[in-house]
């Protein structure tokens, strides 16, 4: 154990002793507060907290310990019995009860023993928010097992509406097929339209597109603003492009401003470019700031020259800081580097400190090289706001890390903070050498001795990476032009190495693909030979698909003449494939080849990626080899065979299966024994 670790453990034990023995409640409270930070010492801290739960009489100390156990997360599982006991003691205390529920939620599945009391709270407690907290905690602790409880709440017409809606949202997070079917059944039983529209929105979010017409009707025809708002929000989350016309109409003409705001937000989420002109018009004509904020926020998602101009107009002409700040944030989201000049002007002279701070932060995200001098000038201003100085420093650091050495050099020159200078120095050393070296050589002429020494250090560190002893050798090589020549040569080598790396990575992938391909081929032949039907789930496992949907997609893509019939969850094997005929073997080979994607083919000679149609390898120039049976390329490292009579080549397994079935060569059509297919020895193995 290191000395530092020993000191930490010692301090934890000291605090635990204080928590256990000190008679001053304030001292115990402070000890518990500090112990929250000892996450790595959980094995000694948590038992002390459990003891405190059992014995503590002071309300504040108890409160801080319960919260601390939540911060320890799953490590606090052993404290669950004591926490459950506290539910009984503090059932009427909403503050402690809420904290206990939140702690169970943070512990997660380890708090399984609390399921029963939490269900009682979720269904029977008299305070709405506490019930909602319990529902959320149960979803995290027991997952889909909470569905029956939620369903019972949802279909109960006498239940609290907000709790019902929260139950709907919680059940949506689980998102299983069982959830979808239960929600559909619940729709038939529920009369309250506010609850129904939330169920419909959740079903849409779970991928049930059949609900879209109902939501469209609600948005256009419902007399209740709440229903229209939920429908609009749902279309935004689902990104339903078909709803754009209805959303445009709603954003422009709906009688409720909150519904209009939800429609605007939805159009932004859908990235509806056709809303641009409408949004600009709303921004000009509408006086409701909530709606205008939603328009400005949506602008950030849409982008475009007209929108950037509109945002800049808001920044320049509006007086409301919230609108101006949101407009700056949207420019950042768009990535409008051309707005740098405006942002630097705001930073220099705007009357609002909030807007100045936002502009200073934004310049680090979308600023360009041209504003670096102005940012450095801000650092040198007397009596400048300290928070502005910090934000400008951070922006210069970000610009420097994007490849602008002048930003980092400006920090080194005018910032006295040692940590900032160190970060700037290290960033320059890591920077692309071609950009850093000329700037640093120029910095060697600075009048400040420390700055010159730092420049020499950075040049020396860069020089070491390039094979020079120190900054003197590097500077001489740069001034003679040797560095530029070296860079050009290095670039050639780099590109060659990247190409080699690409090929090696492809070969590595191909090796795994070949193993999977062979295993699938073997298992598919066994399935066809031994089964007349097989379950989807079993076939997924035998053919090593990731999920049932992937297998079903493959089955659907097979040509009609090779199709497997699927009835419910059972796959019927075509009788054609189970015969010993030539046609059956050809069909099986075609099915096996359908496992491959075109992008998986590689040159047999060098392993370079090729397409099925390639005649020559673009890398090595060799003629690509296609199998005489399946007509597809033979990949690097695959077993290859040839006919001893005509020397036609093919996949070894394909030729062997063909000859076993037909007794003739697939190319020259002459009779040949199985031994007549010669295995071509190869040492090509993907690495």
Please give the backbone phi and psi of residue 646, each rounded to the nearest 5 degrees, phi first: -120, -5
Residue 248 has what pLDDT? Answer: 95
Query: Within 10 Å of residue 527's Cβ, how many Cβ atoms?
Result: 17
Helix (H, G, I), strand (E, B) or coil at 113: helix
Q: Beta-carbon neighbour count of residue 494 at 10 Å?
A: 11
DSSP 470: S
Burial of 371 (0-12, 13-18, 19+ CB in 10 A): buried
For residues 206-227, give the mean pLDDT. Answer: 92
Contact 626, 617 (CB under 8 A): no
Q: Out of 3.30.40.10, 3.30.360.10, 3.40.50.2000, 3.40.720.10, select the CATH number for domain 491-532+573-679.
A: 3.30.40.10
Where residue 631 falls (left for φ over 0; alpha for ψ -120 to 50; beta otherwise) is: left
For position 387, what pLDDT does the model report?
A: 93
Whether residue 643 is predicted with pLDDT greater than 80 in this model: the reply is yes
What is the average pLDDT across 206-224?
92
Mean pLDDT of the chain: 87
Residue 490: pLDDT above 60?
no
Q: Say what the pLDDT of residue 208 is.
A: 85
Check residue 326 and give its pLDDT. 95
Q: Residue 392: is it exposed, middle or buried by C-beta count within 10 angstroms (0-12/13-18/19+)?
A: buried
Given phi > 0 = left and psi -120 to 50 = alpha, else beta, which region is 545?
A: beta
pLDDT of residue 598: 38
Give the model confidence (pLDDT) of 336-372 as tens digits.
999 999 999 999 999 999 999 999 999 999 999 899 9
Ranges 178-182, 213-217, 420-424: which has the least confidence: 178-182
What's the rounded Cα separation, in Å, for the pair 575 and 569? 19
3-state secondary structure of 134: helix
Residue ranges of domains in the chain: 434-480, 491-532+573-679
The band of 546, judged by pLDDT with boundaries at 50, 70 and 90, is confident
Q: Do residues 536 and 569 touch, judged by C-beta distance below 8 A?
A: yes
Q: Look at residue 596 in the predicted model and tell me its pLDDT.
A: 58
Is 621 or 488 the better-scoring residue by pLDDT?
621
Tens digit of each residue's pLDDT (9 = 90 or more) over 241-280 = 999 999 999 999 999 999 999 999 999 999 999 999 999 9
Higher pLDDT, 489 or 501: 501
CB-based contacts of 629: which residues, under 8 Å, 6+ apart? 589, 650, 651, 654, 655, 658, 666
Q: Name the band, by pLDDT with cuts 50, 70 and 90, for residue 186.
A: confident
For the chain, how many helices (H) and strands (E)? 35, 6
134: region left, alpha or beta (phi > 0 left; psi from -120 to 50 alpha)? alpha
Nearest to 256 by CA among 228, 287, 214, 297: 228
Enter the pTM of the model.
0.60
Euclidean distance between CA atoms 657 and 665, whole angstroms: 11
CA geometry: angle 355, 359, 364, nearest 5 deg: 155
Sign of CA dihedral 660, 666, 672, 678: negative
- Separation between Cα atoms, residue 36 and residue 414, nearest integer Å: 40
DSSP 178-205: HHHHHHHHHHHH---HHHHHHHHHHHHH
User: Is the confidence at residue 146, as pLDDT, over 70?
Assistant: yes
For residue 599, pLDDT over 70 is answered with no
Q: Tokens representing 548?
A: 């049932």
Identify the pLDDT of residue 523.
87
Q: How many Å apart are CA 520 and CA 393, to the nearest integer?
A: 58
Other Cβ atoms closer than 10 A to 304? 12
189 confidence band (pLDDT: 50, 70, 90)? confident
Answer yes or no: is pLDDT of 175 > 90: no
Q: Which helix (H) or strand (E) holds 564?
A: none
- The predicted model gives 621-644 an average pLDDT of 87
pLDDT at 573 over 60: yes
pLDDT computed for residue 366 by the predictor: 92
- Structure confidence at residue 621 (pLDDT): 83
Sheet holding 677-679, edge to edge: 649-651, 640-643, 677-679
φ, ψ at 635 (rounded to 5°): -80, 160
**Phi and psi, residue 624, nearest 5°:** -70, 145
Give the span between the Cα atoms of 456 and 444, in whole angstroms.
7
Average pLDDT over residues 604-616: 80
What pLDDT shows up at residue 685? 45
pLDDT at 504: 62
Q: Provide the pLDDT for residue 496.
A: 59
Percent of the chain with pLDDT over 90: 43
Spatial CA neighbour of 73 closest among 52, 34, 102: 102
Greatest mean pLDDT among 224-228, 367-371, 573-577 lies in 224-228
- Of 458, 337, 474, 475, give the one whose Cα is nearest residue 408: 458
């Amino acid at each position: 154990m290191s000395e530092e670790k020993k000191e930490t453990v010692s301090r934890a034990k000291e605090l635990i002793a204080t928590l256990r023995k000190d008679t001053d409640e304030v001292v115990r409270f402070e000890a518990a507060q500090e112990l929250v930070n000892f996450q790595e010492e959980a094995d000694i801290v948590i038992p002390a907290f459990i003891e405190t739960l059992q014995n503590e009489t002071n309300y504040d100390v108890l409160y801080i310990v319960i919260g601390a156990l939540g911060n320890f997360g799953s490590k606090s599982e052993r404290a669950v019995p004591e926490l459950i006991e506290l539910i009984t003691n503090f059932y009427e205390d909403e503050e402690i009860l809420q904290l206990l529920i939140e702690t169970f939620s943070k512990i997660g599945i380890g708090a399984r023993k609390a399921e029963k009391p939490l269900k009682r709270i979720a269904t029977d407690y008299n305070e709405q928010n506490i019930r909602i907290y319990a529902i959320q905690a149960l979803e995290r602790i027991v997952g889909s097992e909470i569905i029956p409880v939620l369903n019972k709440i949802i279909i109960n017409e006498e239940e609290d509406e907000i709790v019902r809606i929260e139950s709907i949202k919680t059940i949506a997070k689980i998102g299983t097929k069982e959830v979808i079917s239960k929600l559909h059944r619940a729709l038939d039983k529920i009369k309250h339209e506010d609850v129904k529209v939330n169920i419909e929105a959740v079903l849409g979010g779970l991928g049930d597109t059949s609900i879209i017409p109902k939501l469209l009707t609600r948005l256009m025809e419902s007399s209740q603003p709440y229903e229209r708002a939920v429908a609009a929000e749902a279309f935004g989350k689902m990104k339903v492009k078909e709803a754009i016309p209805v959303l445009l109409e709603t954003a422009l003409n709906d009688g409720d401003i909150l519904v209009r705001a939800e429609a605007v937000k939805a159009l932004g989420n859908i990235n509806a470019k056709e809303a641009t002109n409408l949004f600009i018009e709303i921004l000009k004509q509408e006086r409701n700031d909530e709606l205008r904020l939603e328009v400005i926020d949506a602008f950030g998602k849409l982008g475009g020259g007209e929108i950037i101009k509109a945002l800049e107009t808001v920044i320049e002409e509006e007086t409301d800081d919230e609108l101006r700040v949101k407009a700056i944030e949207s420019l950042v989201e768009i990535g409008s580097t051309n707005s740098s000049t405006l942002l630097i002007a705001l930073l220099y002279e705007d009357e609002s400190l909030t807007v100045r701070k936002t502009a200073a932060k934004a310049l680090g995200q979308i600023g360009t090289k041209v504003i670096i001098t102005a940012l450095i000038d801000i650092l040198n201003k007397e009596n400048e706001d300290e928070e502005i100085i910090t934000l400008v420093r951070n922006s210069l650091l970000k610009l420097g890390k994007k490849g602008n050495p002048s930003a980092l050099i400006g920090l080194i020159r005018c910032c006295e903070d040692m940590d900032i200078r160190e970060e700037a120095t290290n960033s320059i050393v890591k920077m692309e050498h071609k950009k850093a070296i000329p700037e640093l050589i120029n910095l060697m002429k600075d009048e400040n001795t420390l700055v010159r020494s730092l420049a020499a250090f950075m040049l020396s560190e860069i020089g070491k990476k390039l094979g020079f002893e120190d900054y003197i050798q590097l500077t001489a090589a740069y001034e003679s032009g040797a560095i530029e020549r070296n860079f050009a040569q290095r670039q050639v080598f780099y590109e060659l190495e990247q190409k080699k790396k690409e090929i090696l990575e492809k070969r590595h992938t191909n090796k795994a693909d070949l193993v999977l391909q062979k295993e699938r081929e073997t298992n598919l032949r066994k399935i066809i030979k031994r089964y007349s039907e097989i379950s989807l789930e079993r076939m997924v496992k035998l053919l090593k698909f990731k999920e049932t949907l992937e297998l079903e997609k493959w089955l659907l893509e097979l040509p009609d003449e090779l199709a497997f019939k699927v009835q419910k969850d059972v796959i019927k094997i075509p009788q054609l494939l189970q015969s010993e005929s030539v046609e059956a073997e050809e069909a099986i080979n075609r099915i096996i080849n359908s496992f491959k994607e075109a992008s998986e083919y590689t040159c047999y000679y060098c392993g370079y990626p090729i397409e099925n149609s390639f005649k020559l390898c673009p890398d090595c120039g060799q003629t690509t080899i296609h199998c005489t049976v399946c007509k597809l390329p033979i990949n690097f490292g695959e077993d290859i065979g040839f006919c001893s009579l005509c020397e036609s080549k093919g996949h070894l397994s394909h030729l062997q299966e063909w000859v076993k079935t037909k007794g003739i060569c697939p190319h020259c059509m002459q009779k040949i024994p199985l031994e007549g297919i010669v295995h071509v020895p190869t040492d090509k193995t993907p690495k």
